[in-house]
C-alpha cells in the first residue's frame, strides 16, 4: 500500500488523476517477497487543468462525485484507495450489490460496515485509515501525502508494523479475486451467447427475406387484373 500511495502522491503532485484505480490496475513487477508495484491502465487518467467531469469507471470503485457527475479532483482516487484497502483487509467489497444500480446506490448512501467475521483481525488504525478515505465530501478525504503519514502506513512501533502486515488477509483477497475472475468469465460467456443468438436471428431473417418478397409479389399479382380482361369488360359494357 505504501508504494501505491507513493506513486499516487507523485501523480497527484503533477495534478493528474488516475480515475480507474482497482486491484486489476495494480501490478507486481516480479514475484518476490517485496516486489515493486506499478500502477497501470491510464486510459481514464486526466490532467486537471480545468473543470473535469466523467461518469467512467468501475461501479464498486468509483467515488460518489463520479456518480453524481460533479467536478472531479484527485480526491476521487483516494476514495478508490479506501475501497481497495477494505478489499485487501477483508476479501470483500464494501459497496458491491447484486446489480450495478444497487452498488451505485450503496456508494452514494455510504452504505458499508466492518463485518465482524471479515475484520476480526483488523486493527482500529486500519479501520480508521479506511474511514478517512470513504468520506462523501472529497475535500474531507485524506490526500495521498497525508495517507503516507497515517500510523497504519507509517507505524510508530515494530508491534504496529507487525500488526499491519498480518491484518492484510491475502487468503480472502485471493478468494475475492477468483470470484471476480469467475464473474468476468460468466459475463463473457453470456455476451458471446447473446452475440451468437443475434447473429443467428439476423441470418434467419436474411434467409427469410427472399421468400417474403416472393409471397408479397404473389399477393400483388392476384390483385392486378390482366389488361385483356379489362378490355373485354369495357367492350361488353359499351
CA distance 153 to 11: 19
- Kindly give, in sequence order, each residue whose CB lies less than 8 Å from that of residue 152, ignoring residues fewer than 6 positions away: 123, 125, 126, 128, 129, 160, 164
End-to-end CA distance of the chain: 102
CA distance 25 to 19: 11
Over the stretch 134-153, which tens digit does the pLDDT of each residue have? 999 999 999 999 999 999 99
Instruction: With cut-offs at 50, 70 and 90, classify the pLDDT of residue 223.
Output: very low
| Pairing, β 37-39 against β 26-28 | antiparallel
* Least confident window among 81-85, 87-91, 93-97, 201-205: 201-205
Three-state secondary structure call for residue 116: helix
Answer whether 0.75 is exceeded by the pTM: no
pLDDT at 211 over 90: no
Mean pLDDT value of segment 111-136? 94
Residues assigned a catalytic role: 20
Residues in the chain: 238
Amino acid at each position: 500500500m505504501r508504494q501505491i500511495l507513493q506513486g499516487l502522491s507523485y501523480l497527484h503532485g503533477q495534478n493528474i488523476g488516475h480515475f480507474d484505480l482497482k486491484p486489476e490496475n495494480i501490478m507486481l513487477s516480479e514475484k518476490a517477497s517485496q516486489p515493486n508495484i506499478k500502477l497501470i491502465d491510464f486510459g481514464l487518467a486526466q490532467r486537471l487543468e480545468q473543470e473535469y467531469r466523467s461518469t467512467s469507471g468501475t461501479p464498486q470503485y468509483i467515488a460518489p462525485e463520479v456518480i453524481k457527475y460533479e467536478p472531479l479532483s484527485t480526491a476521487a482516487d483516494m476514495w478508490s484507495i479506501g475501497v481497495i484497502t477494505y478489499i485487501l483487509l477483508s476479501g470483500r467489497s464494501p459497496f458491491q450489490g447484486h446489480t450495478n444500480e444497487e452498488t451505485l446506490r450503496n456508494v452514494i448512501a455510504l452504505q458499508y460496515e466492518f463485518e465482524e467475521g471479515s475484520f476480526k483481525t483488523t486493527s482500529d488504525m486500519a479501520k480508521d485509515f479506511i474511514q478517512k478515505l470513504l468520506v462523501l465530501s472529497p475535500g474531507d478525504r485524506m490526500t495521498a501525502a497525508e495517507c503516507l503519514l497515517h500510523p497504519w502506513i507509517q507505524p510508530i512501533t515494530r508491534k504496529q508494523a507487525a500488526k499491519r502486515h498480518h491484518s492484510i488477509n491475502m487468503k480472502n483477497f485471493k478468494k475475492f479475486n477468483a470470484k471476480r475472475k469467475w464473474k468476468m468469465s460468466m459475463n463473457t460467456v453470456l455476451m458471446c451467447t447473446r452475440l451468437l443468438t443475434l447473429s443467428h436471428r439476423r441470418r434467419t431473417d436474411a434467409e427469410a427475406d427472399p421468400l417474403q418478397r416472393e409471397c408479397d409479389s404473389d399477393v400483388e399479382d392476384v390483385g392486378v387484373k390482366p389488361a385483356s380482361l379489362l378490355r373485354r369488360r369495357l367492350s361488353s359494357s359499351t
